[in-house]
Chains A and B, each alone.
Chain A
Amino acid sequence: MIATGVNPVDALASSLGEGRPWAGVSDFLSAVRLLRKIPTEVARSRAVATIRVAVLGNATTDYLVDAIELALTPRLACATYVAGYDQWPQELLASGSGLDQFGPDVVVLLLSTLGLTAGGARYDEIPDRLVHDALAAFAARSNAPVVMVLPDIPVDATGGESAPDRWYQRARVALHDAAREALGSRSVTVDPMAVLADLTRSWRAGSYWGSAKLPYHAAGCIAVGRRVAQTIENITHPRVKVVAVDCDDTLWGGLAGEVGPSGVNLSPFDGGIGHLCLQRLLKEASANGILLVAVSKNEPETVAAVFRERARDMVLSADDFVAFKVGWGAKSHSLREVAAELRLGLDAFVFLDDSTFERGEVRAGTPEVFVPELPSNPIEYAPFVTRLGILERPIRSDEDARRTQLYQQERWREEARTVAASPDAYLASLDLQLIAAPIDDGSLDRVAQLVAKTNQFNLTTRRYSREELRALATDPSAYTYAFRVIDRFGDAGLIGVVIATTGGDEAVLDAFLMSCRVMARTVEHAMFEHLRRWLLRGKHSRIRASYIRSSKNALVAELLPQFGFTILDASPARTDYTREVDAALDVRFVSIREDS
């Protein structure tokens, strides 16, 4: 039961605490009632973002929608649009539909088996063609990713070769492929069975399909809604960027310091299997761009020796980790250190440790870190962490796949910085190269991602849709460049975007943004210098620019004066500047190249 009579925000927060909330449907309904009492402005002001979620489907989606919203609360606030029952084809196909007017960030499309088979009365049709055409039509009008909930196992499936079984096997594949073909990487499917199979009660709709067109029992709708919420969070605002993981009795069985590298349990035939499964899960997370940090109380050589001497028995290798924090200090101190080194907030960390003591120490010392109660049985580690839903990356860029490498290079640079005699000597030693390339279809995805996500090093925080970017990129009077940086440690990837529009002899700097991971290397000066040379060639004599203040971009408040701009006009919200094009900028530490 949930306390009433107190402030709904606090009451809801306490009901959403540790572990599994909503033991039953009535608990869930009480939580939803509290959620409804929280004014929209309050929910939005407490959230890191508000996301617009549209839910379409061939069944009643009320419980599903409430569960999505509740599961995202309070970190993300939701604006929802719920399409009419079975209206998904019209909504997706017709330009100007309610869905279009709503303008979703994410679309959820529920295709339940009962809805597709007239309640289980007919197994003769799979609407993969319609799904493909409807999603393709929608994709031409919107960038929103679509989370499609696949059919559930038919109530009269035998597990053999009956008509429902054959329909089910084909429908899952055909619908998955149809969505993938229509949407490419923006298609994400969720198999509801992964969570329905875990319910202790039957998830079957039973009478509720006939009475209310529920796709599953209310408890099933709620479980699937929570699962979909995890996917939505992981697509739009992933909570966890770093997994800090203990070694002894977490990554392997036993204490390496006592039993030596050869003695730790990594055997797939007994207790080692749970540790290996956790390693496999973390290996996948690392490939998805989540950073791994080993945090262990040991001599550094003890841990290094396990990775070296047991390499053949392990799934993870030392290269999968962005940092090793091995020593005898408090683990919360190690986490603070590594957060500073990676320039990431502690709220982006999850900490996995078998020891109750260490979990308690980290909770007390770094309360921002997410510290789940790892089960005591190692065989439960991987399934438990999976169900937290924080390591899934349904949509990933090439950048995500290389992230560990990028951060490793950054740490080598840090080390070089500490040995260099002076800041200038250090910058000179990096051998920095800026590679400029006009934005094109090949870079559009990464450019759109950078434009959408860069908050700090961003002069105007102007967001552009892919269509707007594409239109600007084909406009010959506009300067639309994306920049990569390479130094002697490696390729930092696409890190900057600059957009300027021109008219007559004057230009306006519309967007100037850069990834924070290449800060303090004068790269931004080189980016501006590249623009300046382009304007000079185009016989433009003057450029105007503005710093538009946001809650996060104080970092660049003084950037334009550094580029030689002078103030035209200043207000608390923005400062407008101007500059002659002809004076060159000093970029002696960075060589600028045009990508051919």
Chain B
Amino acid sequence: MKISRDEFQQLLGEAFSVDPSEILLTADAEDFETWDSLNHLNAVVTLEERCGVSFSVDEIASMQSIAQIVACLREHGVDVDWPV
């Protein structure tokens, strides 16, 4: 399963109510005021729905940066088409 960089940025941009261009591999929860627990949940639920995966409690807790989200998706065989 693959998800393009554009779609990934679009999806998380909506979840965190920020412009998709702000979704960068260097960004983390501290960078967005809107990255609160509910929007975090929105992001995870939306990713699960889009990619057909299911995360563990620990994985959900670990997703505190864009890079970690990408890494978690890779663990589940979802390739974000975005060179790291």
- Taken residue by residue from 20 to 62, chain B's Cβ proximity to chain A (1 for < 8 Å, 0 otherwise) reads as 0000000000000000011001101110011000111101110
Q: Is B69 an interface residue (CB 8 A)?
A: no
> What is the size, in residues, of chain A's interface with B at 8 Å between Cβ atoms?
17
List residues of B whose CB falls within 8 A of some A CB: 11, 14-15, 17, 37-38, 41-42, 44-46, 49-50, 54-57, 59-61
Closest 6 CB pairs of A and B: A210-B57, A211-B60, A218-B45, A207-B57, A26-B46, A212-B41
Knowing A26-B11, A62-B38, A211-B41, the reply to whether A206 touches B49 (Cβ < 8 A) is no
> A217's closest neighbor in chain B, by CB?
B45
Show 15 A/B contacts (Cβ-Cβ < 8 Å), sorted by A.
Answer: A24-B49, A26-B14, A26-B49, A29-B14, A29-B46, A33-B14, A33-B17, A207-B55, A207-B57, A208-B60, A210-B57, A211-B44, A211-B57, A212-B60, A214-B41
Task: Point out the residues of chain B lying under 8 angstroms from A212, CB to CB.
Answer: 37, 41, 60
Q: Bound complex: CA of A218 vs CA of B15, how far in Å? A: 14
Residues of A within 8 A of B59 (CB): 207
Contacts of A219 in B (CB 8 A): 49
Instruction: Pick the most buried of B17, B46, B55: most chain A CB atoms within 10 A of its CB.
Output: B46
Distance of B32 from chain A, by nearest CB (Å): 16
What is the minimal beta-carbon distance from A5 to any residue of chain B, in angstroms? 14
Q: How far is the CA of A214 from the CA of B45 in the complex (A)?
A: 12
Interface residues of A in 540-560 (CB under 8 A from B): none
Contacts of B45 in A (CB 8 A): 25, 208, 217-218
Contact A218 B41 (CB under 8 A): yes
A206 and chain B: residue at smallest CB distance = B54
A29 touches B42 (CB 8 A): yes
**In the bound complex, CA of A210 to CA of B56 (Å):** 9
Tell me the residues in window 216-265 of chain A with beta carbons closer than 8 Å to chain B beta carbons: 217-219
Which chain A positions have C-beta within 8 A of B50? 26
Is A522 an interface position by the 8 A CB rule?
no
Known: A25-B46, A26-B50. A208 touches B41 (CB 8 A): yes
Contact mask A22-57 → B, CB, 8 Å, 1/0? Answer: 001110011001000000000000000000000000
Complex Cα spacing A448 to B17, Å: 46
Q: Quick one: closest A residue to B59, CB to CB? A: A207
**A25-B49 in contact (CB<8A):** yes
The docked-state distance in angstroms from the alpha carbon of A208 to that of B54 is: 10
B60 to chain A, nearest CB (A): 4
Chain B neighbourhood of A210, CB < 8 A? 57
Residue of B nearest to A201 (CB): B49
In whole angstroms, what is the CA distance A62 to B46 when docked?
15
Smallest Cβ distance from B12 to chain A, in angstroms? Answer: 11
Quick check: B60 and A207 within 8 Å, CB to CB?
Answer: yes
- The residues in A between 255 and 289 inclusive whose CB is less than 8 angstroms from any CB of B are none
Docked Cα-Cα span, A26 to B11, in Å, equals 9
Could you tell me the distance in whole angstroms from the C-beta of A92 to the nearest C-beta in chain B? 25
CB distance from A131 to the nearest CB of B (A): 27
Q: Return A55 CB to nearest CB of chain B, in Å.
A: 15
Measured CA separation A578–B56 after assembly (Å): 75
Q: How far is the CB of A189 from chain B (nearest CB, A)?
A: 28
A26 to B49, CA, bound (A): 8
Contacts A207-B59, A211-B60 supplied; 13 other A-B pairs, CB < 8 Å? A25-B45, A26-B11, A26-B14, A26-B50, A29-B15, A30-B14, A33-B14, A208-B60, A210-B57, A211-B44, A212-B37, A214-B41, A218-B41
- Determine the chain B residues whose CB is within 8 A of the CB of A29 once the complex forms: 14-15, 42, 46
Q: Which residues on B sit within 8 Å (CB–CB) of A30?
A: 14
Which residues from A are CB-within-8-Å of B38? 62
> CB distance A207 to B56 under 8 Å?
yes
Q: Are the C-beta atoms of A211 and B61 separated by less than 8 Å? A: yes
Beta-carbon nearest neighbor of A29 in chain B: B42
The docked-state distance in angstroms from the alpha carbon of A219 to that of B46 is 11
Kindly provide the distance from the CB of A427 to the nearest chain B CB, expressed in whole angstroms.
63
Partner pick for B54 among A24, A25, A207, A218, CB 8 A cutoff: A207
In the complex the two chains form, what is the Cα distance from A210 to B61 in whole Å?
10
Bound-state Cα–Cα, A241 to B77, Å: 53
* Bound complex: CA A359 to CA B44 (Å): 42
Given the complex, which residues of A lie within 8 Å of B46, measured CB to CB? 25-26, 29
Tell me the complex Cα distance, A219–B44, Å: 13
Contacts of A217 in B (CB 8 A): 45
Question: CA–CA, A62 to B39, complex, Å?
Answer: 11
Among A186-221, those with CB < 8 Å from B are 206-208, 210-212, 214, 217-219
For residue A155, give the distance in angstroms from its CB to the closest CB of chain B. Answer: 14
Instruction: Report the separation of the CA atoms of residues A219 and B49 in the bound assembly, to the nearest whole angstrom.
Output: 10
Least CB distance from B51 to A in Å reads 12
Identity of the chain A residue whose Cβ is nearest the Cβ of B17 in the assembled complex:
A33
Which residue, A33, A210, A211, has most C-beta atoms of chain B within 10 A?
A: A211
C-alpha spacing A218/B42, complex, angstroms: 9
Closest to A210 in B: B57
Q: How far, in whole Å, are A24 and B46 apart by their CA atoms in the complex?
A: 9
CA distance A212 to B43 in the complex (A): 13
- Chain A neighbourhood of B54, CB < 8 A: 206-207
A30 and B49 alpha carbons, distance in the complex (Å): 14
Which residues does chain A contribute within 8 Å of B49, judged by CB atoms? 24-26, 219
Q: Which residue of the partner chain B has the closest CB to A30?
A: B14
How long is the Cα–Cα vector from A30 to B17 in the complex, in angstroms? 11
Residues of B within 8 A of A211 (CB): 41, 44, 57, 60-61
- Give Cα A219 to B41, complex, Å: 12
Q: What chain B residues lie within 8 Å of A26 (beta carbons)?
A: 11, 14, 46, 49-50
Output the least CB separation between B16 and chain A (Å).
Answer: 12
Q: Provide the residues of chain A in CB contact with B55, threshold 8 Å.
A: 207
Give A33 to B14 CA distance when docked, in angstroms. 9
* Chain B hits for A218, CB < 8 A: 41, 45
Complex CA gap A219/B45 in Å reads: 9
Complex CA distance for A33 and B61, rounded to whole angstroms: 25
A24 to B49, CA, bound (A): 8
Which A residues from 501 to 536 make CB contacts under 8 A with B? none
Q: How far is the CA of A486 from the CA of B17 in the complex (A)?
A: 62
Q: Which residue of A lies closest to B39 (CB)?
A: A29
